Structures are given as C-alpha cells and as structure tokens.
C-alpha cells in the first residue's frame, strides 16, 4: 500500500508497456472524416496552388478506410467573386481589402463553379463519401469554413447534418491548413465537436506566418493536432 501511494502518475505511466500507453485512435460510428478542398485549383498546376498540395491525396485515401462517415468540401466561387483580386481595380493577389464583414485576403481567381479547376483531384478515391458540401458560392461573401460564411451569419447546414446523424468527432484533412482547414476546425469546436486535425493529411499556404498562427489558434481552441499514423486502420 505504501508502495502504491508513493507511485506518481508519471512513474506509473513509465512503468506501463509502450503499446498500452500509446493507444491508437479508433474512429467509431460517431466520427467523420472531413476532406477539405482537395481540388485541382489547390494543387500543382492549379490557379491557387498550395506547395505540395497533391501529397495529401494518398494520405487521405489511406486513412479513409477507418471511417464510416466521410464528408468532402469544395471551394465553389462565382466568376467575379468578392475574394478575387481581379474583381477590384488596383488590387493584386495576396493583398487585402476591407469588405462589409471585415478583412478579406484577395486571391487569384480560383475554383470557379463548374470548371475543371474546381473539380476534386482525380486521384482522390473516396467512394463511400456521403456528402459533398460546396461553399463560397455567394458572390459577395467568402467562406473558408465549411460551417459558416465569412459574414459569420450565413450557415452551410453542415453542423445540423452532422448532429442529426449523431456525429461527435471530426477528423479534418485537406487544403489549406491555415485557411479552410483551420477555419473549419475552429468552427467545428464552436459547434461543440471534438476535433482532430491530421497534420500530414494537410498542406498550408503560409502567407505572412499564417501557418504557425493557425496552429496556435487551433490549439488554443482545443483542436487536437495528430498524424495519420495515430489512426488505427480497420
């Protein structure tokens, strides 16, 4: 008894076999894989390429086997969208402007509805995915988040869909870590989900330090940063 009382929590953990201490994550029926914007526009050869964006495809395909529920998103802008630098006189991509709802980064024209650039990457193999949610289709409002547009008022309905199906845990992957993945992850926390961002299944844009800032904000909101190897496959 004296021996047990003298064992600290750390000492106890160290005494346990490693396989027992480092439990793999096993997504159950209450978990969904969210695949954010793995579209031609965001990979090499696209209109807004994220460095090495295509490298997420095999990682996402692999872990998808562990999920009963998969949701895919597509950035889906009108021509002349408010997030395009070309929609304003004298603005260049990656500059910012102020819109009614606040600061907006201006991007090259990208992911225009119905174009090949906006199509999902051809090697993404998610035959069991049940929902594709498109966002950013209102001409005057951007939507990095899959839950809520940048006006912070207009919702996409994703939270309701997931909750109605009893989903409580979200594993978020895709492009770009510091924009659509981060905003989706933070809104998911706000909506009450348990959130894991799978780091090696994402790639970032990193505009003026945005990647480190995004991880800091996500972590502060309770988002868990994991690797694909932390997920048990089948």
Q: How far is CA 79 from CA 9, 96, 102, 115, 159, in A?
A: 58, 19, 21, 10, 27
CB-nearer residue toward ligand VGL: 70 or 176:
176
CB-nearer residue toward ligand VGL: 187 or 230:
187
CB under 5 to 8 A by kind: which of Zn ion, ligand VGL, none does 76 bind? none
> Per residue in 197-209, is it b (16+ CB within 10 Å) or e — as a string?
bbbebbbbbbeee
Q: Report d(CA 199, CA 190) in Å as an integer.
A: 20
Q: Which one from 75, 109, 117, 135 is the annotated catalytic residue?
A: 135
Catalytic site residue 135? yes
Out of 75, 148, 149, 230, name the contact with Zn ion by CB under 5 A.
75
CB 74 within 8 A of CB 118: yes
Question: Does residue 107 bind ligand VGL (CB under 6 A)?
Answer: yes
Handedness of CA 164, 170, 175, 179 (dihedral sign): positive
Question: Does residue 56 bind ligand VGL (CB under 6 A)?
Answer: no
Give the count of alpha carbons within 13 A of 136, CB side only: 28
Q: Which one from 37, 142, 178, 230 is the annotated catalytic residue?
A: 37
Question: Does residue 149 bind Zn ion (CB under 5 A)?
Answer: no
Catalytic site residue 37? yes
Size of the site for ligand VGL (CB under 6 A): 9
Catalytic site residue 180? yes
Q: Report d(CA 136, CA 49) in Å as an integer.
A: 18
- Which range, of 2-10, 87-95, 126-134, 175-183, touches ligand VGL by CB under 6 A? 175-183
Catalog residues that contact Zn ion under the rule CB under 5 A.
75
Catalogue the active-site residues. 37, 135, 180
């Amino acid at each position: 008894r004296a021996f047990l009382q003298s064992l600290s929590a750390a000492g106890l953990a160290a005494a346990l076999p490693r396989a027992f201490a480092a439990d793999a994550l096993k997504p159950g029926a209450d978990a969904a894989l969210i695949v954010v914007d793995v579209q031609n526009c965001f990979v090499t050869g696209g209109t807004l390429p994220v460095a090495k964006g295509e490298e997420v495809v095999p990682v996402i395909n692999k872990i998808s086997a562990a999920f009963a529920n998969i949701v895919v998103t597509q950035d889906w802008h009108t021509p002349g969208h408010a997030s395009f630098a070309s929609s304003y006189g004298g603005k260049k991509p990656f500059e910012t402007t102020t819109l009614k709802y606040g600061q907006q980064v201006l991007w090259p024209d990208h992911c225009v509805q119905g174009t090949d650039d906006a199509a999902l990457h051809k090697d993404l193999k998610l035959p069991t995915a049940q929902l594709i949610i498109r966002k950013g289709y209102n001409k005057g409002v951007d939507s990095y988040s899959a839950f809520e547009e940048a006006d912070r008022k207009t919702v996409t309905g994703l939270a309701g869909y997931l909750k109605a199906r009893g989903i409580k845990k979200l594993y978020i992957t895709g492009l770009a870590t510091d924009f659509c993945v981060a905003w989706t992850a933070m809104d998911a926390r706000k909506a009450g989900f348990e959130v894991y961002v799978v780091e090696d299944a994402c790639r970032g844009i990193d505009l003026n330090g945005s990647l480190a800032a995004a991880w800091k904000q996500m972590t502060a909101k309770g988002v868990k940063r994991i690797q694909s190897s932390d997920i048990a496959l089948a």
